[in-house]
Structures are given as structure tokens and as C-alpha cells.
Chain A
Amino acid sequence: MPHTVTRYTLPNGLLVLLQEIHTAPLVSHWMWYRVGSRDEAPGMTGASHWVEHMQFKGTPRYPAGLLDRLISRQGGYWNASTFLDWTVYFATMPSDSIDLVLDLEADRMVASQFDTADFEAERTVIISERQGSENEPLFLLGEAVQAAAFQSHPYRHEVIGSLEDLQHIQRDDLYSHYRTYYRPDNAVLSIAGDFDTALMLERLHQLYDPIPVGGPPPRLAQPDPPLDQPQEVIVEGPGETTYLELAYRGPAAEHPDFWPMTVLDSLLSGASSPSLFGGGISNKTSRLYRALVEKEVAVGVSGDLLATFDPFIYSLGIVLPPDGNTEPALAAVDAEIARLQDSLPGNDEVQRALKQARALFAYSSESISHQASWMGFAELVSGYDWFATYLDRLAQVTPQDVQRVAREYLLPEQRILGLYLPTGEESELDD
């Protein structure tokens, strides 16, 4: 259901998006900073994510334990996430206790302590988080594919950072990263739910007006030149399952080609929601499912088109059956891509993708938390209109557009092929 959105910039540059929704006694508060792995130079990979962890370690006014306790006591849910382009802190609270979040979020924009002992304890926690990810073949494969997909752009490394950097980053370097990017004019605050807009703006002025303008932070990222030859990366690891990842450079979220690529992904691998909460529907009638799983050369296939600030990758993930071969699976993918490049998809197929998007959009707008998330997410990757016109932009996509982006983006000579080949070691009981 449409709700009016107030878009307002405070004197220090903090952009505020407010949407009143009075269907439940809740307010969802999302503070987004324009900093992510995109802003990390070699040697500092993982810094943005580490800063996110340190933001839960407290300020002089809100020591660590107190922070958790106050939020949890109110029945609120809070957490944070770091991505390629942004870091977000979110909390959904009963509406009569939202002031707690308003106050602490303003406080930790500038006052986080980065105590040395906390910093060192968090180093081992984050290394443990990375080790948990390393247990997953798909993490290892994805990390290798990303590294091959970019020569110098920071998108080439995983958000969590390399183990070597996690072992060597120093407290003062991390604190400097925080102070450089945590500025009101480098942030977007999106709030949805059961509040009064005028009163909320008044409160935000009180809290944020004392924080000075930071000025534009440095930006490292420069788009890479196109790949000049195909890449192949092989990761070997435990298990019995072979995974394939095929990646192509994709368009940025605000590029007009993002919309036909969304439809292309829907046709090839099934519809999925671009929202932060993800989600999707089954993909058993998608072209690749029919060509791979129905033909029994794979047991699963999925596509991934992320909405990013700079051009990232469009990737296809394939899981092979026990003793499956990579060649028939690759041949089937190539044939389906060629079919899309050579023959116009039917208009009914494109209209079907639009209907799927409309349904997924409705599901992802269902809750107050989702509404607040959508507003800020869209602003970060492109602008609020990206959210407001999402379905209209998709509705303008034609079969010719889909064929054109298939020809322009899914080029064999610019493909990165990643293979996870299992070594066949099995688990065993020790007793």
C-alpha cells in the first residue's frame, strides 16, 4: 500500500527518509553509511565489517552491556550488516521506546570508543566468523571468482576481508576508517512506522544538529576495464560435491541495463527479490532449471544479480549430482545463453517476469521493517526513485532489451568460470 515518504536533509548533510505507517505499534530505524568493502585498500580489507562489530562495543554514554540490555528489554530487535557499498545498523522497536535507538545511533556516529582490549577480542571473533565461512565450499568458490573478476577494484575481495589483513590491521587504522566514513553527510537514515513526522524531524534536529559536516570522504573505487579474456579458477576442497559458478560483469543498480538484466535473470534462473531481505520463489520453470535439472546434468541452479553502486558481477551457481560432469552442465548453460542471444524471448515470458516481480515486491513490502529497509537501500544504491519506480521501470523492458543485454553482458570471452572440485574426503565418527 502506498504511504507518503518525507525526504529531508539536515543542515549537516544527513539525509532522512521518513514514512509513517500506523498498522502496528512499531518503528523500524535504519542508519546507512556509505562505506563498505568498496572503500578498502589492500591491507585494510575487512575494515568496514570490523568497524561494524566495534559499533556494538559502546560509547561513554552507552557502555556495551547497557546498549544490548536497553534495546532487548524493550523487545526490540537490532543488528547490523556490512556489504560491498554500505554498512547498515537497524533496529525495530515498539514505537513508545524508539527514542532510545534515535539517541544511541546519533551517539555512536561519533563517540564509539574502540577500546584496545575490545578491539583485540573482536579480532579473534571476526577470524572465527571467517573460519565459519571457510567451512562452506560456496564461500571459497565465490571468493576466488570475485578475485578473478576484478583486477584492481575493491569488489575483488570479500566483505569479511582476507585472513592476513584480519591478523594485521591495527586499532588506530580501524579507528581512522571509522572517523573517515562515519559522518552525517555520508549517511542516510530511513525510518518507517508508527510515529509523527513533524515530531520525528524535530527530534532528529536536536540529536544530529550538533554533529558537524564531515566533508566528502575519499573514494578508492575506479571501475575496472572490461576483462580481455575468459578466466578460469579452480578451488579444491573437502567433500563429494562439485559446484560451478559462472560470472559476468553486470550493470550497476542505477544503469538503465539493470532492469532488462533483472528480467533476463528471471527468465534464465528464476525470479528473486532485490531487497535486502532477499527471498524469491521456486525456479523450476526457468530456462536453466529445465535445461540442467530436468535433463539431470545438475541438481540445482540459481542466479544472482546484486544491486550495487559500481558494476559488479552477474553470476550463475550450479550444483552437480554425485559423480556429475562439468562439461554437460557448461554446454547446457552455453546453449541456453546462446538461445537468448539468438532468439527474441516471447513477450508473454517478459510479462510473466513482471508479474513475478510485482508479487515479490508486494511480499518484500509487507512489514514495517521491510519498508524502512527498502527506502534506505534504494537511496544508497541509486536514489529513492529507484524504489518508487521499481515496477514501472521493469514494465518498460521489452523482449528486444532482454536480448540486447544478453548479447552485451553474457560474453564468452569475458566469462569467469569457477569450479569447486571435491577431494572426496569423507567425515568419520571418532569413537
Chain B
Amino acid sequence: MSAAHAYHSLPGPQDITRRQLDNGIVVLFRANFNSPSVVVSGYLSAGGLSDPEDRLGRAEFTAQSLLRGTQRYTFQELYDALESVGASLGFGGGAHTTSFGGTALVEDLDLLLDILAQAIEHPVFPVEQVERLRTQFLTSLAIRAQDTARMASMAFDRLVYARHPYSLPEDGFPETIQAIGRPDLLDFHRLGYGPRGLVIALVGAIQPQQAVEKIDRILGSWRNPDQIAVPDLPPLQRLPGVITDSVTIPGKSQADLVIGAAGPNRKAADYLAASLGNNILGQFGLMGRIGEVVREKAGLAYYADSSLGGGVGPGPWSISAGIDPANSERVIDLIRSEIRRFTNHLVTVDELADSSAHYVGRLPLSLESNYGVASALLALERYDLGLDYYQRYPSLVQSVTREDILAAARHYLDPDRLAIALAGS
């Protein structure tokens, strides 16, 4: 195949079906007949931003309860139906949305969709199952407390997002999980779940018309006049300077370090420039400049990289490393030096050419699986990118300049205003 053929084969208006059902649900579909399987993925407009502080984790608790029993099926009946045909379905509560994802052989798509509809429309939150889930959440939180990466990330969020809902973990704390009662789950479902804002992507071995009809048949009649909107995010406070926090977890060989600040949201005009800059800073090749300095030259970490987490809101722009605690000051100095260089000087012509080529070249690979395509379709809808986005993508990437990257770097990162979080022994 030629390169031109490669980009013509990317998802676009010619092969993506987008339909809005009468109740507001948006359906996205792309066929793939190369595998006898199908993927269903999507999100509802209900998330942890609505959680009261003393009931933190409510959105996640609700999401995990959906398959614990519905008006028509018991917990065992739901899972027996799914597992007997090798299908899977799962839910997760995020800050802005509740997401879902499942897969099945195409011959079992009706079953998968039926269970999905039952779970989101008619969950009954059986008392016994809620209590069993509570125990499982508490165990997860005890495991989280021993996870140096998670604890460093939580400490980082507390620093960067002070007095902002992003400072709080979506899976809550033991005391908030203990406080959540079945009525809280019922209320959250009644007021948060509904067709408005629901987006569902389907990818697999069926025809477009069939796909839309199937979803319309199972979810098209859903109405919820009580559905309320997810609250808006408050403004973010600027970091006052370099602020640090550390969490001691006894008996750990390695410490995890997170350094950074808040980055752009996905719709920001400078998002793509920030993303390419981040690739140069801590991803390209074996983890970009950060990997070169911390891992390759100094041998101070197995992993040392950067990430840009922007979505609906301003996610973190952070650099993470797993290090020997004895080396923490040395690694922090190296990373801060790299941030200073990144915000003081243009990236080189070669660096930008490398990362641009990487972004354009990797696109077909990221769309190799049904899950990859489904995620890509959902991103189009969530961030208003347009159905032709992946076909415009190469020119969008190639239009980003070195000056754009420096401006984005300076806008979000300041070596003298950083959050530094460390967790370990």
C-alpha cells in the first residue's frame, strides 16, 4: 500500500456513520469485517464531579454496581449470559463521565447490547451486592495506599489542583466509601444517568444500518426528565512557586516522583503544540529528553517520562520517574533543568521534524484494533473534532511551529512554579 492509500484508509466521513437518536443519544459506527468480533464503547454524562466530598467515590461505586443486578436479571444471570459466550462488559466512573466498554463475537452483539441497556437504565443495587462491593472497594483502597505511583500522583494532584475537584481521587477514601449508602447510588443514577450526553461507538463486523437500528431499538426509547447536568469546573489557581509534598510508605524499594503543573484541556487552541512539545520533552524514542538525561545518561531510573493528561478539563502536564529514594534530589534537579531548557529555548528543527513524523506515522497503528477505532470515534465527538479530523490530522500536525511549542511550554510550565510529589520509603 502507498502512503497516500494509508491515509485514505483512516476513519473519515466516507466510512464513519454518525446518527443522533430522538432522545439525544449519539451513535458512531465504523465497520470492520477483518475479525468476527465487535466492540461497544461509550460514555454517559454523569461523573464524580457531582460527588459530595463526604461521599467521594459515589460515581465509581454506582458504575461498578450496574451489573450487580437489574430489574430483569440477577448478578449471576448477567454474568452467566456474558461469560458463557466469552463476552465482556465493564463500567467506570470518571470525573466528567461514566464510561463503558465491552466486546463480543458479532453473533452475540444483541445479547451484549441488551445487557448494556439493562445495566444503565434499570439497575437495582441489591443490598447484599452493594455491601460486597464496598468490601472490595475498601480492599482496593488499602492496596492503593501501598502503591507508590498512585500515592505520588494523588499528592501531586493535591498540590496542583488545590481547592479544585481534580485534587480529589475519583475512587474516594475509606471513610467516604463507608459513608455511601444504597440511597446515594439510587439518587445518583436517577439524577445523573440519562440519554442526554450519552455517546456510544460501535466497531465491528456488521453493516452500518444494522448497527444504528440495533442501538435505537434498545436505547432509543429511554427518557429521563430528571437528568441534571454535570457541574462546571471552577477556575484553577496558579501555583505560588515550587511546592513539594511527600508520602512515606514503609518497606518500599523504589520511590515514585511526579513533577509538573496543570496543562491544557483537549479543546485548547494550543493543545496540539503542547502535545508535540510533550513528545519531545518526555516521550519520543525512549522517553524523549527526560529519558535521555535521567535513564540513558545517568542510569537513575527504569522509567522517566512525561505525559499530558488534558481532556474535558485541564489535566496534568507532568514528568514521572521511578527512582532509588537516595537519588531523589539529583533526579529532581535534572528534571527541573530540562523544564528550564524546554521553556527557555526553541526545540530544534530536527526534534520537531522527528516528533511530527512520529505523530503522523503512528496514526494507522493506533487504529489497528476495534478498541482503538472506537476510542478514536469517541474522541471525535467528545472534543468536537469533526468526522474528517483524522484525515486532516497530518496537516494539522505539520502546521505546528517551534514557536508554537515554546509558547505552549511557557504558558503551562514554569520551572519556578512547579508541584513536586514523592512517595516511597
Among A24, A126, A137, A431, the one with the most B-chain Cβ atoms within 10 Å of its Cβ is: A24
Q: When each residue 366-408 of chain B gets 1 if its CB lies under 8 Å from chain A and 0 otherwise, what string results? A: 0111100000000000000000000000000000000000000
Tally A residues with Cβ within 8 Å of B: 84
Binds A, one of B13-21, B82-90, B224-232, B310-318: B82-90
Q: Nearest Cβ distance between residue A116 and chain B, in whole angstroms?
A: 13
Residues of chain A with a CB closer than 8 A to B285's CB: 65, 68-69, 71-72
Q: Nearest Cβ distance between residue B202 and chain A, in whole angstroms?
A: 15
| Chain A, range 67-93, C-beta contacts under 8 Å to B | 68-69, 71-77, 92
Binds A, one of B188-196, B245-253, B259-267, B337-345: B245-253
CB-based contact A282/B37 at 8 Å: no
Bound Cα distance from A123 to B151, whole angstroms: 27
At the interface, yes or no: A423 with Cβ under 8 Å from chain B? yes
Residue of B nearest to A21 (CB): B34
Bound Cα distance from A283 to B324, whole angstroms: 37
At the interface, yes or no: A392 with Cβ under 8 Å from chain B? no
Residues of chain B with a CB closer than 8 A to A128's CB: 254, 300-302, 322-324
Tally B residues with Cβ within 8 Å of A: 82
At the interface, yes or no: B79 with Cβ under 8 Å from chain A? yes
Q: When each residue 344-377 of chain B gets 1 if its CB lies under 8 Å from chain A and 0 otherwise, what string results? A: 0000000001100111111111011110000000
Binds A, one of B116-124, B136-144, B214-222: B136-144
CB-based contact A281/B86 at 8 Å: yes
A357's partner among B86, B292, B367, B368 (CB-CB below 8 A) is B86
CB-based contact A240/B76 at 8 Å: no
Bound Cα distance from A306 to B370, whole angstroms: 26
Residues of chain A with a CB closer than 8 A to B247's CB: 427-430
A355's partner among B1, B84, B139 (CB-CB below 8 A) is B84
CB-based contact B76/A64 at 8 Å: no
Binds B, one of A165-173, A250-258, A361-369: A361-369
CB-based contact B86/A359 at 8 Å: yes
At the interface, yes or no: A185 with Cβ under 8 Å from chain B? no
Q: Nearest Cβ distance between residue B274 and chain A, in whole angstroms?
A: 19
Residues of chain A with a CB closer than 8 A to B1's CB: 22, 25, 95-96, 194
B143's partner among A239, A359, A431 (CB-CB below 8 A) is A239
Residues of chain B with a CB closer than 8 A to A120's CB: 299
CB-based contact A1/B284 at 8 Å: no
Residues of chain A with a CB closer than 8 A to B76's CB: 284-285
Bound Cα distance from A68 to B423, whole angstroms: 31
Q: When each residue 285-307 of chain B gets 1 if its CB lies under 8 Å from chain A and 0 otherwise, what string results? A: 11000001001111111110000
Residue of A nearest to B107 (CB): A359
CB-based contact B87/A430 at 8 Å: no
Residues of chain B with a CB closer than 8 A to A65's CB: 285, 292
A76's partner among B83, B298, B354, B365 (CB-CB below 8 A) is B365
Q: When each residue 181-193 of chain A gets 1 if its CB lies under 8 Å from chain B and 0 otherwise, what string results? A: 0000000000000
Known: A120-B299, A322-B135, A322-B139. A427 touches B360 (CB 8 A): no
Bound Cα distance from A158 to B27, whole angstroms: 47
Known: A128-B254, A284-B75. A270 touches B83 (CB 8 A): yes
New A-B pairs, 16, CB < 8 Å, besides A284-B76, A320-B139, A322-B135: A68-B286, A75-B358, A94-B364, A94-B365, A96-B1, A96-B3, A123-B299, A128-B300, A238-B249, A238-B252, A270-B83, A293-B132, A427-B247, A429-B247, A429-B248, A430-B245
Which residues of A does B touch, CB under 8 Å? 1, 21-26, 56, 64-65, 68-69, 71-77, 92, 94-97, 120-126, 128-132, 134-135, 137, 194, 237-241, 270-271, 281-286, 293-294, 296, 299-300, 319-322, 352, 355-360, 362-363, 365-369, 423, 425-431
In the complex, the 4 A-B pairs of residues with the closest C-beta atoms, listed nearest first? A75-B361, A359-B86, A68-B285, A121-B299
Between-chain CB contacts (< 8 Å), 21 pairs: A25-B6, A56-B286, A68-B285, A71-B285, A75-B363, A76-B362, A94-B365, A126-B302, A128-B300, A238-B249, A240-B146, A281-B87, A282-B83, A285-B80, A299-B135, A321-B136, A356-B85, A356-B86, A363-B37, A429-B248, A430-B248
